[in-house]
Amino acid sequence: MIEYIQSERAFYLSGQNYSYVMYVDALGNLQNLHYGAKIEKADIPYLIEEIGEPVTRELHDLNFFSRERMRCECGAYGRGDYRESTVILKRSDGGAISEFRYVRHILQDGAPNIKGLPHARSGGQTLAVTLCDACSDTELDLHYTVWDDSDVLARNIVVRNTGKETLTVKKAFSFCLDLPNRNYKILQLHGAWTRERTPEITDIGHGVVRLQSMRGASGFEVHPFAALLERDCTETQGACYGAQFVYSGSFALTAETNSYGNTRLQGGINDTQFSWELCAGESFTAPQALLCYSPQGLGALSRAYADFIREHIVNPAYAYKHRPIVINNWEATYFDFDNEKLFAIIDEAAHLDVDTFVLDDGWFGKRNDASSGLGDWFVNEQKLSGGLKAVVERCKQNGLRFGLWFEPEMVSPDSDLYRAHPDWAIHKKGIEPIVGRKQLVLDFTRKDVMDYIFEIMRKILSENDISYVKWDMNRFITECTSESLPPHRQGEFVHRYILGVYDLAERLTNEFPQIFFEGCASGGGRFDAGMLYYFPQLWTSDNTDGYERARIQWGTSLIYPLSAMSCHVSACPNHQTGRTTPLRTRGAIASLGATGYELNPALLSAEEKDLCRSQIAEYKNIEDLILCGDLYRLSSPFESDYFCEMVVSKDKNRAYVVGEQLRALPNSPVEYLRLHGLDESKTYRIAEYNKTASGKTLVSIGVA
Ligand code: GLA
């Protein structure tokens, strides 16, 4: 709900468990008065008196001109707010001073449809507050969208050039949130290839903490997410504030605590090397950020984000629908396959009850290893006689559907495409390009390049019976320039690149609504809400080790629904770690997401095949919980020898618990695991042990 209280010039926004209050002070500043626990509207005069007015009074005294005590909704440069700015506008005279003052606002039903960028869809109510820059002819629209049944609040900023001169947007973050400093800790998810999304909680202290990606993608290393945690915040209690983006490009998130008792959390497109030319009358739209307030710890934060992403980010045609249970040939064959090898996998896979066979990398061009062929999206008939049609046919004979791997954004220097169009790869004349995984990145800021890739993919997807596409992206961007852009627009390159990716994803998913798309980036290297807007699930990690995966999926579940995570059972010893874990463990961990297999079923024993079949049958039985339920993390693999998570149906009639003992301990004490999220007045039957107990007992005493 959003209300404007005219008498106080105040905005009162509220969702399920939070209130967000701002007011326009006598000088026209839009000040934040409160974001957090739900408060009464009647208390707004008290907040103004207690929080807003003392700051405004101080501003009147020019001998002490500082906005540092002010909780601003948009930080400006050069007029007494010495913290990092939210928006920086450079004019032709070289100056960049700004002071943002309220001019008007509008309230509308629904969420804004942000053209060209992924965004929260459907429902809600949106407030757009327009601020004008007292130092230039520029207006900012600060958008706030709230949903009554959610604790997620969507924000972004639109910069509008209302003058006659061209200006340069040097920085346009999506949001600024000034909170009273409560000595917060900051939670981030750091990682690397095969070590994605490891939670790390540190003090923020004074000064600036900056989390960022400079890779042209959200990346592995620092996730586009941060949460500020009050000191008593744990998994199940205490307040915290999350921020993530509906964006997949280079981002920055900063948390700055100053000497005057304020902590500023803000973020958006990474401003390093960013600039955007804004001609008279043009506007620039920053990507959306999703803020979330949880009064009850990280568990509740995760559930709020998970519900929100399923309900408002993922394509509604797929959000709660059965996900294809795939068998993927990558780890079974790598590049070394032909019809015979694939047919053997397909024939065996049919007996496991999987839905879809996915043909991974290596089916096209002259691609027998990672050094060649990307961009040549023509079937390699030397490997696959009869082309894709023969493989599709074999799948059909076995009652399977067919999926196919692409890496649309890439080109190998050793490819016909590159030989014909060397200028299509991102490059800077006179500088040897850095080759990552022996490949270059196509210049997706160029329409001709994008059109070519669209057409060639359209051809394959329309000529073959394909029900699933795995869209991979295996290197980050270097030499971030394009000859298609004039010198003064080179700062736009990285953002324009990701807009190109979104454009292609949108065109293909619109053209082929019946095809299920899964995103991937060397595992989980571009795992974000932006990609989830186009692709309902993302490959979580190339690391499918039963022990490591529990940790990766735990970290990922902090801000994404289980259904966003593609999780496969792979062979042992594991190809990434060399570790052997029981098939039962691998299956259980992979069942906490969109499950599938990544192995050669012909190499499984009869007993293992039976186990896979029963895993799939069991998965189908609980899939509705994975797609629609509430996740409770019970025992952290980072803090104990046990991993345990459970999912509870919304009506609390059913629950699914998965546990893994990470380290064997001889002669171990009995641990009692208290369950969460159950209805204490209900009686539950524990299917595996065929025992019954009340919700109250399971929650307060637990299971051994
Ligand atoms: C990436 C993906 C893998 C696989 C390979 C193919 O590493 O994460 O799943 O598709 O590319 O080259």
Cα(337) to centroid(ligand 1), Å: 15
DSSP symbols for 150-173 = -SEEEEEEEEEE-SSS-EEEEEEE
Q: Which residues contact 393 (CB under 8 A, 6 or more apart)?
A: 386
Cα(442) to centroid(ligand 1), Å: 18
Residue from 522, 527, 574, 576 to probe ligand 1 pocket by mutation (most atoms less than 8 Å from CB)? 522
Kindly list the distances between the CA atom of residue 346 and the CA atoms of 396, 465, 639, in Å, as whole numbers in the listed order: 10, 16, 41
Q: Which residues contact 351 (CB under 8 A, 6 or more apart)?
A: 601, 609, 613
- Phi, psi for 561 (deg, rounded to 5): -70, 155
Nearest residue CA, atom 12 of ligand 1? Answer: 361
Spell out which residues line ligand 1, taking CB within 6 angstroms: 330, 360-361, 405, 472, 474, 520, 522-523, 539, 542
Residue from 333, 520, 568 to probe ligand 1 pocket by mutation (most atoms less than 8 Å from CB)? 520
Helix (H, G, I), strand (E, B) or coil at 444: coil
Produce one character per residue of 268-304: b if its CB has 16 or more CB atoms within 10 Å, e if not: bbbbeebbbbbeeeeebbbbbbbbbbbbbbbbbbbbb
* Residue from 423, 463, 417 nearest 445 by CA: 423
Kindly list the distances between the CA atom of residue 352 and the CA atoms of 87, 384, 410, 608, in Å, as whole numbers in the listed order: 55, 24, 34, 10
* Residue from 612, 634, 618, 624 nearest 678 by CA: 634
Q: Please give the number of the atom of ligand 1 that sits closest to the Cα of 360.
A: 10
Confidence of residue 66 (pLDDT cuts 50, 70, 90): confident
Q: What is the pLDDT of residues 390-409, one digit of tens each?
A: 999 999 999 999 999 999 99
What is the average pLDDT score of the chain?
97
pLDDT at residue 143 is higher than 70: yes
Mean pLDDT to the nearest integer, 86-93: 96
Q: Helix 606-628 to helix 583-590 angle, to the nearest 10 degrees?
A: 20
Give the predicted TM-score (pTM) of the model: 0.98
Kindly list the distances between the CA atom of residue 540 and the CA atoms of 197, 382, 536, 570, 642, in Å, as whole numbers in the listed order: 10, 32, 12, 14, 21
Mean pLDDT to the nearest integer, 186-193: 98
pLDDT of 277:
98
pLDDT of 88:
98
Cα(428) to centroid(ligand 1), Å: 27
Confidence of residue 64 (pLDDT cuts 50, 70, 90): low
Contact criterion met (CB below 8 Å) for 543 and 565: no
Produce one character per residue of 488-525: b if its CB has 16 or more CB atoms within 10 Å, e if not: ebbbbbbbbbbbbbbebbebbbeebeeebbbbbbbbbb
DSSP E strands in 148-239: the ranges are 152-161, 167-180, 185-190, 198-203, 207-212, 225-229
Q: Please give the number of the atom of ligand 1 that sits closest to the Cα of 520.
A: 8
Cα(103) to centroid(ligand 1), Å: 51
Q: What is the pLDDT of residues 579-621, one digit of tens each?
A: 999 999 999 999 999 999 999 999 999 999 999 999 999 999 9
Cα(192) to centroid(ligand 1), Å: 15
Cα(647) to centroid(ligand 1), Å: 29
pLDDT at residue 250 is higher than 70: yes
pLDDT of 332:
98
Kindly list the distances between the CA atom of residue 310 and the CA atoms of 105, 152, 647, in Å, as whole numbers in the listed order: 30, 12, 15
- Phi, psi for 573 (deg, rounded to 5): -60, 145
pLDDT of 497:
98
pLDDT of 62:
61
pLDDT at residue 67 is higher than 90: no
Nearest residue CA, atom 7 of ligand 1? Answer: 522
Q: Please give the number of the atom of ligand 1 that sits closest to the Cα of 539.
A: 8
Confidence of residue 63 (pLDDT cuts 50, 70, 90): low
pLDDT of 261:
85
Helix (H, G, I), strand (E, B) or coil at 295: coil
Mean pLDDT to the nearest integer, 96-117: 97
Q: Please give the number of the atom of ligand 1 that sits closest to the Cα of 521.
A: 8
Residue from 372, 474, 569 to probe ligand 1 pocket by mutation (most atoms less than 8 Å from CB)? 474
pLDDT at residue 529 is higher than 90: yes
Contact criterion met (CB below 8 Å) for 574 and 541: no
Q: Please give the number of the atom of ligand 1 that sits closest to the Cα of 598.
A: 9
Question: What single-letter amino acid sits at 93?
Answer: D
pLDDT of 74:
98
Nearest residue CA, atom 1 of ligand 1? Answer: 522
Kindly list the distances between the CA atom of residue 561 and the CA atoms of 101, 192, 637, in Å, as whole numbers in the listed order: 39, 21, 19
Contact criterion met (CB below 8 Å) for 637 and 628: no
pLDDT at residue 58 is higher than 90: no
Catalytic amino acids? 472, 542
Q: What is the pLDDT of residues 344-399, one digit of tens each?
A: 999 999 999 999 999 999 999 999 999 999 999 999 999 999 999 999 999 999 99
pLDDT at residue 337 is higher than 90: yes
Beta partners for residue 45, in sequence order: none
Q: What is the pLDDT of residues 271-311, one digit of tens each?
A: 999 999 999 999 999 999 999 999 999 999 999 999 999 99
Nearest residue CA, atom 11 of ligand 1? Answer: 522
Q: Helix 339-352 to helix 606-628 angle, to the nearest 10 degrees?
A: 70
Distance CA 687, CA 646 (A): 14
Tokens linked to 331: 């780890």
Length of the chain: 704
